[in-house]
Amino acid sequence: MKQVYLKRGKEESLLRFHPWVFSGAIHHIDNDIEEGDVVRVVTEKGDFIAVGHYQQGSISVRVLTFNGLEIDDAFWHSRLQSALNMRQDIGLADSPITNAFRLVHGEGDLLPGLIIDVYDKTAVMQAHSIGMHIARHAIAKALAEVMKGRIENIYYKSETTLPFMEPENGFLLGSSNDNIAVENGLRFYVDWLRGQKTGFFVDQRENRALLEKYAKGKRVLNMFCYTGGFSFYAMRGGAELVHSVDSSAKAIELTRRNVELNFPGDPRHEAFCEDAFKYLDSLPQPLPRRGVPSGEISPSLGEVGEAYDLIILDPPAFAKHRGALHNALKGYTRLNEKAFEKIEKGGILFTFSCSQVVTKDHFRNAVFTAAAQAKRKVRILHQLHQPADHPINIYHPEGEYLKGLVLYVE
Ligand code: SAH
């Protein structure tokens, strides 16, 4: 096996099982190493440290194992089996009310660069590294074995994650386009052919269920709705009305179909294809405006636009890398400030960030600044996270990406 030699002392984080080798830690590499190769990582003196996938870039090796294991069929089988065992142990893999879950969450399942989401009889597999792309057939074979009797199709979808490789999306097993999945008893279409990521955001499952509990009698605004996940939970929770907003026409179309699937002909729901910032700007302000004598309330419900007492903000990642952090935090503050300005008194705000480089504290600070700027009285009711099928490898804190706050706004 070809070798990657570390600079002296640069094995420290690997000895603590952190699964990445950064380019700056490398002394030199064997001449004939190619992108996606399985390599041995060794100290300057040649002592074995780990085996992983090599790729040019700031993360040069993604570690697959710290033992001297061969990366063969048995390896993939054992890693996938261990991922499934965990989902079975926590009751997700055999749930009578949910058949959509994440089976493999990259580093969290000791498979950096690989994502596998299961939607009923179909697994959607996504490679985020060249090594995983090259191994896709071996992984699919192991996946079919491990998930025998559970899945019939494997759809490979890496066009957007590895654009420079131009990998072809397509089925590696089966070919069914039967794409209705179930989450907590609610049904939804998954568009793995054209949808974002693997077609649905399973990571919000538990947060949607929490929202359902707060929805009764509320006027709900689901901002950045994508496939409408939060919207159909709000409807089941007894919301008075639910408005879903997304700037993508495709997302709005999917939301309408999903709401129709669960609540056919229900007049409580409307969907709008609009930019989030513009939409929020167009809403009436429930508080006395600056310069308006206190007690005089600005126009509300139906006069200028809708008034909402439950708002969800689940935007796409504002920062995809560390360099974008500062602007991303400003973006979160600006967005949340608009929601604080517009939400009714006694309203509840579910606000999220899915940017990996934005920490819990960063995000809380950005939202804190927004609350202060909007001069609202705000209490934190819940601090939310990614669910258990998106586990965080304890040695890889970067794996914590989804954070949310549920806020009571007066
Ligand atoms: N809440 C969703 C996931 C949101 S993904 C769920 O539970 O599944 C982020 C969504 O934001 C995408 O659908 C994208 O089309 C939308 N989006 C991105 N920029 C936007 C903008 N400026 N205004 C409105 N929607 C936007």
247 lines ligand 1 (CB under 6 A): yes
204 lines ligand 1 (CB under 6 A): yes
User: From the alpha carbon of 278, which atom of ligand 1 is closest?
Assistant: 23
Closest-CA residue, ligand 1 atom 16, reads 224
Closest-CA residue, ligand 1 atom 22, reads 275
Q: pLDDT band at 362, cuts 50/70/90?
A: very high
66 lines ligand 1 (CB under 6 A): no
Half-sphere exposure of 194 (CA within 13 A, CB side): 9
Does the pLDDT of residue 334 top 70, yes or no?
A: yes
246 lines ligand 1 (CB under 6 A): yes
Question: Which position among 354, 367, 384, 409 bears the catalytic label?
Answer: 354
**pTM given for the model:** 0.93
Q: pLDDT band at 287, cuts 50/70/90?
A: low
Does the pLDDT of residue 54 top 60, yes or no?
A: yes
12 lines ligand 1 (CB under 6 A): no
Alpha carbon of 223 to ligand 1 centroid (Å):
7
pLDDT at site 184? 98
Q: pLDDT band at 292, cuts 50/70/90?
A: very low
Radius of gyration of the chain (CA): 23
For helices 325-342 and 360-374, what crossing angle results, to 10°? Answer: 40
Alpha carbon of 192 to those of 37, 177, 247, 389: distances in Å? 28, 9, 20, 19
Annotated catalytic, 354? yes
Most confident of 195-199, 205-209, 292-296: 205-209
- Residue 116 makes CB contacts below 8 A (sequence gap 6+) with 83, 102, 103, 104, 123, 124, 125, 126, 143
pLDDT at site 165? 86
Does the pLDDT of residue 255 top 60, yes or no?
A: yes
Does the pLDDT of residue 370 top 50, yes or no?
A: yes
Mutate to test the pocket of ligand 1, among 117, 191, 207, 224 (most ligand atoms within 8 A of CB): 224
pLDDT at site 319? 86
Q: Is 20 helix (H, G, I), strand (E, B) or coil?
A: strand
Are 127 and 146 contacting, i.e. CB atoms less than 8 angstroms apart? no
Helix or strand holding residue 372 (H, E): helix 360-374
Q: pLDDT band at 385, cuts 50/70/90?
A: very high
Half-sphere exposure of 405 (CA within 13 A, CB side): 20
Query: Mean pLDDT, to the nearest integer, of 306-318?
Result: 95
Q: pLDDT band at 350, cuts 50/70/90?
A: very high
How much is the mean pLDDT over the chain?
Answer: 93
Query: Mean pLDDT, to the nearest integer, of 180-188?
Result: 97
Distance in angstroms (rounded) separating the CA atoms of residues 332 and 277 = 11
Least confident of 34-43, 187-196, 283-292: 283-292
User: From the alpha carbon of 208, which atom of ligand 1 is closest?
Assistant: 7
Alpha carbon of 286 to those of 298, 300, 306, 337, 338: distances in Å? 6, 7, 10, 14, 12
Does the pLDDT of residue 192 top 90, yes or no?
A: no
